[in-house]
Amino acid sequence: MTKTSFLKRDEAVGFAILALIIFIVFPLMLDDFRLNLFGKYLTYAFVAVGLVLCWGAGGILSLGQGVFFGLGGYCMAMFLKLEASTPEATAIQSTPGIPDFMDWNQISALPIWWQPFNSFGFTVLAILAVPALFSLIIGFAMFRRRVGGVYFAIITQAIAAIATILIVGQQGYTGGVNGITDLRTLMGWDIRPDSAKTALYFVNAVLLFACLFIAMAIRKSKFGRVLVAMRDAEDRVRFSGYDVASFKIFIFCVGAMMASVGGAMFTLQVGFMSPTIVGIVPSIEMVIFCAVGGRHSLLGAVYGALLVNWARTTLSESFPELWLFGLGGLFIAVVLAFPNGLAGLYDDYVKPRLKLSRRNHAAKPSNPQLAE
């Protein structure tokens, strides 16, 4: 009770099963195209894991996670675009050596704020630092003034709207509505062939597990318990001597950075970044990935992201008009019927039976678990 190891047995098994699925089952079962697709789904899992921390544990519902996803994605895309826009490759432009969309928009020199993205080191730093700084500013302004709950959700949603309009409107600098496309190499390594995509899938998976472990460590620390306490009785936490705002700012920053890493991996695996992934609609859909998995369950978030995106691809391939009904219904069902998502269903229905069968068949191994 007072001394706990880092992972309980159940949790360790849950992690192992997820690792098995992501590292072995998917690569073996799926063709290159599908594997790349699942890699894309998994980039959304970064956002969902961050949301479990912010929303599930901290009670902070951000409807602007797409912005952070986009920040990471755009940082990476800027780097890749600059690498693809060598003077040789862009010789036919009126200004060779700058990204094609800038040339189309009569911009004749690379803007100053694009220039550092020639460096990969700077780009990696920016992928972490830009969303951190941005979320710090938002978090500081909002949480210090005790804005939370619904108001926070609405304002983050407005920020998502602003970001999209801005990116679309400033097409000379951002590629506009098409986004930044035609990305080719990462430091000379061609990211387009299937072999590269498979490699990126594994890089993505490793990073995702790193995020999961960080999230788990936060939840298991006293910080995690303070978050739960804040959700129960925020005032009491304050009068136990905690500066509630700085805890919220921190967890919001962590969520934003995770989303950003996911966005960067999205750009690498999909080969472009566009404002359609930043706006209100994708941002709120990211919340549903988390809700479907179970807003309190880190592993559930990954399953949620996989399941909803897979359902979207499958349904919209065969019945495009049904998909929105399905997604809409999912939003309503997850809130009304199973607010704890897949993880909740697992806890309520599967776990008791597993325990029962474990008792019955003394040492038989249990079935694959859905969530922690």
Partner 1 sequence: MVQDNPNFILSVEDLTVSFDGFKAVNGLSFYIEPNECRVIIGPNGAGKTTVLDLICGRTRATEGSINFKGHELTRMREDQIVHAGVGRKFQTPSVYEDLSVYENLEISYPRGHSVFGALTFKRDADVNRRIREIAETIFLSDMLDERAGILSHGQKQWLEIGMLLIQDPELMMLDEPVAGMSVAERKKTAELLNRIIKDRAVIVIEHDMGFVADIATRVTVMHQGKRLSEGSMAHVQADPSVVEVYLGH
Partner 2 sequence: MFSGYSLPELGAIFAMQGFAGLILFSVFVLMALGLAIIFGQMGVINMAHGEFMILGAYVTYLVSQAFATYAPALFGAYFFVAMVLAFCASGLLGMFVEWAIIRHLYKRPLDTLLATWGLSLILQQSFRSLFGAREVGVTIPSWMMGSLPLTDLIEVPINGIFVMVLALGISAAVYVMMFKSGWGRQVRAVTQNRTMAGAVGIDTERTDRLTFGIGCGVAGIAGAAFTMIGSTGPTSGQAYIVDTFLVVVFGGAASLLGTIASAFSISQAQSILEFFLSGSMAKVITLLVVVGILMLRPQGLFSIKLRK
The option from partner 2, partner 1, none interacting with 161 (CB < 5 to 8 A, set by class) reads: partner 2
The option from partner 1, partner 2, none interacting with 9 (CB < 5 to 8 A, set by class) reads: none
- In angstroms, give the least distance from the CB of 290 to partner 2: 10
When computed from its CA atoms, the radius of gyration of the chain, rounded to whole angstroms, is 22
The residue among 258 and 284 lying less far from partner 1, judged by its C-beta, is 258
Q: Which amino acid is at 30?
A: L
CB atoms within 10 A of CB 228: 15
Q: CA 33, CA 260: separation in Å to the nearest integer? A: 24
- In angstroms, give the least distance from the CB of 96 to partner 1: 49
Binding characters for partner 2, 168-207, by CB under 8 A (x = yes): xx--------------------------------------
Q: CA 289, CA 272: separation in Å to the nearest integer? A: 22
Identify the sign of the CA torsion 95, 98, 100, 104. Answer: negative
- In angstroms, give the least distance from the CB of 372 to partner 2: 22
For partner 2, the binding residue among 12, 20, 158, 210 (CB under 8 A) is 158
The option from partner 1, partner 2, none interacting with 3 (CB < 5 to 8 A, set by class) reads: partner 1
Which DSSP string corresponds to 37-100?
Answer: HHHHHHHHHHHHHHHIIIIIIT----S-HHHHHHHHHHHHHHHHHHHH--TTTTTTSSSTTS-H
- Report which DSSP code applies to 186: E
78 forms part of the interface with partner 2 (CB under 8 A): no
Contact 226, 10 (CB under 8 A): no
Binding characters for partner 2, 112-151, by CB under 8 A (x = yes): --------------------------x--xx--xxx-xxx
330 forms part of the interface with partner 2 (CB under 8 A): yes
368 forms part of the interface with partner 2 (CB under 8 A): no
Largest CA distance in the chain: 76
Q: Which residues bind partner 2 (CB under 8 A)?
A: 55, 61, 63, 138, 141-142, 145-147, 149-151, 153-155, 157-159, 161-162, 165-166, 168-169, 280-281, 284, 287-288, 291, 321, 324-325, 327-332, 334-336, 339
